[in-house]
């Protein structure tokens, strides 16, 4: 099969001749799988004990045929040996950390990572005797200084939320390889269309598949992709914890993945055009978008990524009330806390984080900061909408 993204997105992971002659992979809606006789059980158990991966399903908490097809498609898009699906992005992260870290281990965490990831490390890993050091992705040289003999994993995010900082992946990957430390990146904002972290030497790549991979704001799922040895412990832990994805969400994810390249290319175009428009507007104080030369990581992004994404963060001239008035004047985007779907969604970051100004400041969220996750609408309509909303301030 071709290794081009659109062809893989449509065909990878799925057999051409499907059950019942169906064109789409069916939803296998079952929790239980039965055996014809004792001989079939013996054959299954022997193949399972040998470590064979391509075997029939045993129980819904472990795997499902619809899930396996979606996993294989994600693995193909990431250039990975294998991928695993989970019930959400956070369940992918928490299951992975539970599988790979033990009492006395040390984790290096990107300071700009998703706040729930940081909360899990601070509130739960610490309780289990696992220490965490945070390092800014804007200082890749600081990762070496943070390493300890007990460091087992470096977990980072790129692009970050909401300021879209870009980590030099090769620098951190080489450090991990030299010191025998696993490296993992949350690449949700990038998608494999814009960035394939495994090609830059990372061991594991994670996505909140609820976002761009599914693409329609109707799925909760998370994925981890990497090599078979790296995923073996995580898969075993997933089976114990029961954090696998369900067949209905896997079916919707398969559907969404087929148009992933088309959607992301359009969102890249919309992001660049909108960022350029906002940067030139007098009512906008600052724009954060890696496709702009003004972004601190523009050079790294150009070297590392093939597109800069559909999220644009920017600050309005004025306080949170003026910023809210601008949001309320917009006609096209929905107001909400997610991203990656075909519909544009805008979020006043500080208000949805906390109403306490001190907590907002500690989190580095200005009261006038907005995150605009652009959909696939016509960019001229998006810009016209922004223009009329800004003109009313």
CA distance between the termini of the chain: 53
pLDDT recorded at residue 357 = 79
Q: Is the pLDDT of residue 360 over 80?
A: no
- Range of the structural domain that residue 200 is part of: 5-28+64-257
Q: What is the pLDDT of residues 275-323, one digit of tens each?
A: 999 999 999 999 999 999 999 999 999 999 999 999 999 999 999 899 9
What is the CA angle 178-179-182, rounded to 5? 100
Query: Domain check: are 274 and 305 in the same one?
Result: yes
Query: Domain check: are 231 and 116 in the same one?
Result: yes
pLDDT recorded at residue 361 = 75
| Number of domains the chain is built from | 2
Query: Domain check: are 100 and 249 in the same one?
Result: yes
Q: What is the CATH number of the domain that holds 357?
A: 3.90.1150.10
At residue 3 the predicted structure's pLDDT band, cuts being 50, 70 and 90, is confident
Q: Is the pLDDT of residue 105 over 80?
A: yes
Query: Domain check: are 219 and 237 in the same one?
Result: yes
pLDDT recorded at residue 53 = 76
Query: Domain check: are 205 and 264 in the same one?
Result: no
Mean pLDDT of the chain: 94
Q: What average pLDDT does range 170-197 have in this prediction?
A: 97
Within a domain: 52: no
Within a domain: 311: yes
Query: Domain check: are 241 and 325 in the same one?
Result: no
Within a domain: 221: yes
The CA distance from 69 to 99, in Å, is 24
Query: Domain check: are 177 and 323 in the same one?
Result: no
Query: Domain check: are 116 and 146 in the same one?
Result: yes
pLDDT recorded at residue 6 = 86
> CB of 220 within 8 A of CB of 252?
no
Q: Is the pLDDT of residue 364 over 80?
A: no
Q: What is the pLDDT of residues 45-81, one digit of tens each?
A: 999 898 887 788 999 999 999 999 999 999 999 999 9
Query: Domain check: are 241 and 227 in the same one?
Result: yes
What lies within 8 Å, CB to CB, of 386 at 6+ separation is: 274, 277, 278, 281, 330
Please give the biggest Cα pair distance in the chain. Answer: 75
Within a domain: 97: yes
At residue 31 the predicted structure's pLDDT band, cuts being 50, 70 and 90, is very high
Q: What is the CATH number of the domain that holds 119?
A: 3.40.640.10
Whole-prediction pTM value?
Answer: 0.94
At residue 99 the predicted structure's pLDDT band, cuts being 50, 70 and 90, is very high
Continuous segment of H or E residues that includes residue 225: strand 222-226
pLDDT recorded at residue 72 = 96
Continuous segment of H or E residues that includes residue 178: helix 169-179
pLDDT recorded at residue 69 = 96
pLDDT recorded at residue 143 = 96
The CA distance from 127 to 98, in Å, is 12
Asked which of 257, 290, 308 is the last residue of a domain, the reply is 257
Query: Domain check: are 172 and 250 in the same one?
Result: yes
Walk across the sheet containing 369-373 and list its strands: 284-288, 311-316, 369-373, 345-348, 334-335
Cβ neighbours of 297 (radius 10 Å): 22
Closest of 78, 333, 118 to residue 209, by C-alpha: 78
Q: What average pLDDT does range 343-362 have in this prediction?
A: 81
Q: Is the pLDDT of residue 355 over 80?
A: no
Query: Domain check: are 243 and 290 in the same one?
Result: no
Structure tokens at 163: 């300021």
Q: Would you name the residues annotated as active-site residues?
A: 61, 114, 186, 211
Cα–Cα distances in angstroms (integers) from residue 180 to residues 100, 106, 172, 297, in the given order: 14, 13, 12, 27
Within a domain: 108: yes
Structure tokens at 272: 């660049």
Within a domain: 35: no
Rg over alpha carbons for the chain, rounded to the nearest Å, is 22
Query: Domain check: are 118 and 152 in the same one?
Result: yes
Q: What is the pLDDT of residues 248-262, one digit of tens each?
A: 999 999 999 999 999
Strand pairing category for 334-335 and 151-157: unpaired
Asked which of 257, 291, 312 is the last residue of a domain, the reply is 257
Continuous segment of H or E residues that includes residue 155: strand 151-157
Instruction: Please state at what angle helix 379-391 crosses helix 260-279, rounded to 10 degrees.
Output: 30
The CA distance from 216 to 253, in Å, is 9
- How large a percentage of the chain has pLDDT more than 90? 84
Partners of residue 59 on adjacent β-strands: 32
């Amino acid at each position: 099969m071709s290794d081009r993204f659109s062809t893989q997105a449509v065909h990878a992971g799925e057999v051409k001749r499907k059950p019942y002659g169906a064109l789409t992979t069916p939803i296998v809606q079952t929790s239980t799988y039965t055996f014809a006789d004792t001989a079939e059980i013996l054959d299954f158990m022997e193949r399972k004990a040998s470590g064979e991966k391509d075997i029939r399903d045993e129980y819904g908490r472990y795997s499902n045929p619809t899930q396996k097809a979606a996993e294989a498609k994600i693995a193909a898009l990431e250039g990975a040996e294998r991928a695993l699906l989970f019930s959400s992005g956070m369940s992918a992260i928490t299951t992975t950390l539970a599988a790979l870290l033990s009492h006395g281990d040390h984790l290096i965490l990107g300071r700009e990572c998703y706040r729930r990831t940081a909360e899990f490390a601070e509130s739960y890993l610490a309780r289990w005797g696992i220490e965490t050091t945070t390092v800014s992705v804007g200082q890749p040289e600081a990762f070496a200084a943070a390493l300890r003999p007990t460091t087992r994993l470096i977990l980072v995010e790129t692009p970050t939320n909401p300021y879209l900082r870009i980590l030099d992946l090769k620098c951190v990957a080489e450090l991990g390889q030299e010191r025998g430390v696993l490296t993992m990146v949350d690449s949700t904002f990038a998608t494999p269309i814009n960035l394939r972290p495994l090609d830059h030497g990372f061991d594991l790549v994670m996505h909140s598949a609820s976002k761009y991979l599914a693409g329609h704001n109707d799925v909760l799922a998370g994925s981890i992709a990497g090599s078979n040895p790296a995923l073996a412990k995580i898969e075993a832990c997933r089976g114990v914890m029961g954090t696998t994805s369900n067949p209905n969400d896997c079916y919707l994810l398969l559907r969404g993945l087929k148009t992933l390249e088309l959607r992301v290319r359009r969102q890249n175009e919309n992001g660049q055009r909108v960022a350029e428009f906002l940067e030139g507007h007098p009512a906008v104080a600052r724009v954060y978008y890696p496709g702009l030369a003004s972004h601190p990581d523009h050079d790294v992004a150009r070297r590392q990524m093939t597109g800069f994404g559909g999220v644009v963060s920017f600050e309005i001239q004025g306080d949170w009330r003026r910023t809210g008035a601008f949001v309320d004047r917009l006609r096209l985007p929905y107001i909400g806390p997610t991203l990656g779907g075909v519909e544009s969604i805008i979020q006043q970051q500080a208000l949805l984080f906390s109403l306490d100004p001190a907590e907002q400041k500690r989190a580095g969220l200005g009261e006038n900061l907005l995150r605009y996750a652009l959909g696939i609408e016509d960019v001229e309509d998006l810009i016209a909408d922004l223009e009329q909303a800004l003109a009313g301030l």
